[in-house]
Amino acid sequence: MGEEELKKVIQGDVLIDDTTRAHYSRDASIFEVTPSFVVFPKDAEDVKHLVKLVSEAKGRGDDVSLTARSAGTDMGGGPLTESIVMDFTKYFKKTSDVSVKNNEGYITSEPGVFYRDFEKKTLESGYLLPSYPASRSLCAIGGIVANDSGGEKTLKYGKTHDYVERLNVVLSDGELHEIKALTPQELAEKEQLHTFEGEVYRKMHALLETNYDAVHAAKPNVSKNSAGYDLWNVWDRKRFDLTKLFVGSQGTLGIVTEAEFRLVKTKPYSGMLVVFLKDFNSIIPVVKEVLPFKPSSFESFDDKTFKLALKFLWGFITILAKNPFSLAFSFLPEFFLVLTKGMPKLILLVEFEEDTEEAVIEKIDGLKKKLEPLHLTMRVAKTREESDKYWAIRRESFNLLRQRVKGMQAAAFVDDIIVRPEFIPEFLPKLYQILDKYEFFSTVAGHMGDGNFHIIPLLKLANESDRMKIHPAMDEVYTLVLSYGGSITAEHNDGLIRSPYLTQMFGEKITNLFAEVKTIFDPNGIFNPRKKVGASIEYAMAHIKKS
């Protein structure tokens, strides 16, 4: 397949120059995979034509595929390919106005819309999509859907799959289909269709019904998971909802061209209690006291992240603050804390959002009283500015490493593990032992209420010795996580980095079902290869970037 063949079937752009291909060879992961073509489809018709063209070429024996990409903030290599990349951020940039039904907000968006623009529009109407990730200022809607993103508000509000009402998807037949929840009667009607769509519903229903108990038993016993295909949430014998399958599928089953979201009403008042822990022993007592208060967020970052923020304070806050002198002055209590009581091992952020200021104060005061017997150092962030400085450290922990530590790179390869919170005091020291064994300087931040941690080691990827540490370190970390019944990815998804570990996590029976699902939707294997199904750890390790 050549450039002219692609240009004949679409109105959008096709680029093959080395500079463009080099740009699209990377995302926020440790990988580099150079595509053959970069395509900017103009509309859904372009996507349909591309799917049909690639499907025909694959049928002739051409090694060609389609991989969707939005903002390129993925940390696992999800949008990387040697074949055709489709960038949606140039033309797929439409959002509807927010509509209100039954006191809930709804909005429709195309995948190329940046979340920061999407959120601006929802907030103008007093609504929010609460599953945004930490990269909210950089990421786009397509990636949020593809990865089933979650973030700081997931503890209270859930993940993206909880808010997707409807998807428009181009399937491998090259046609645009509406995907939404169906009643059993509506499912039966779909199964009567003598089309590819009817075949998909018949086969998926049969697969999920035949393996009903095994599928539901395979659901990871943690509060959130992005590993594998979310089969256990599709069919409960009352509702058949393929949006649950497509959200988090990383474009391996079809190409999403539009998504409708349910939104939540924003709360006008917020406040934060900051808790400083000297060791891990207080984690479980703190978690047990915090969760009944139902905070909107319960986050954490470790001593190394805190040290980086203090060490690079001026450069850090000039990026984030309109008034850097004011923000710098606000860090004086933290410097005093370190001088008088030493560096805390973990900093916990407990944020409450309520309809009244009184309700916020009541919850913070109530939680403080519950925690006082533990003799912890605590601070109340009374203003938005005070809260923002802690949020800045938490949200920017990855960028702190990536931008401020010279000569080394922030390497995301064990960046999104999750265990049940009750295992944290036992689990975290073992995790640090593995990181120390490989002599990684790493920051650990995460969602304490979920037991979800983001670990970012610093490596010199140009050095073969550092690259050689990645595979064995992953083996040890993921074996540890799975020994506690956890998941290898809570939010960031599988991509190139974790797909090879799905059999270890789910076993052969369930991963064989994943392969069957892939075949049902993508019989010619044209959508985003080497992700979820057909993955290879050898391929992944061979494509680690060296600069």
pLDDT in tens, 393-442: 777 666 666 666 667 788 999 999 999 999 998 999 999 999 999 999 88
How far is residue 283's CA from residue 274's CA, in Å, rounded to a whole number? 14
pLDDT of 382 reads 77
Contact 349, 300 (CB under 8 A): yes
* Dihedrals phi, psi of 47, to nearest 5 degrees: -65, -45
In CATH, 3-87 is 3.30.43.10: yes
pLDDT at 325 over 90: no
Fold of 267-404: Alpha-Beta Plaits (3.30.70)
Q: Are strands 409-410 and 164-170 parallel, antiparallel or unpaired?
A: unpaired
How far is residue 486's CA from residue 446's CA, in Å, rounded to a whole number? 15
Of 329 and 372, the structure prediction assigns the larger pLDDT to: 372
Structural domain spans, the chain? 3-87, 99-265, 267-404, 496-542
pLDDT digits (tens, 9 = 90+) for 138-191: 999 999 999 999 999 999 999 999 999 999 999 999 999 999 999 999 999 999
pLDDT of 389 reads 77
pLDDT at 11 over 90: yes
Fold of 99-265: 3.30.465
Tell me the pLDDT band of 342, cut-offs 50, 70 and 90: confident
Question: What is the percentage of the chain residues whose pLDDT exceeds 70?
Answer: 93
Q: Which of 117-131, 160-174, 276-290 has the lowest mean pLDDT?
A: 276-290
Of how many residues is the chain composed?
Answer: 547
How far is residue 207's CA from residue 270's CA, in Å, rounded to a whole number? 46
Of 284 and 129, the structure prediction assigns the larger pLDDT to: 129
Alpha helices in 249-352 (DSSP H): 283-290, 303-311, 313-320, 324-330, 332-341
How far is residue 362's CA from residue 369's CA, in Å, rounded to a whole number? 11
The predicted model gives 109-128 an average pLDDT of 97
The predicted model gives 449-475 an average pLDDT of 94
**C-alpha separations of 264 from 110, 126, 420, 547 in Å:** 19, 9, 26, 42
Dihedral sign (CA 488, 280, 366, 361): negative
DSSP summary character for residue 153: T
Q: The tokens of 46 are what?
A: 């372009």
pLDDT of 456 reads 87
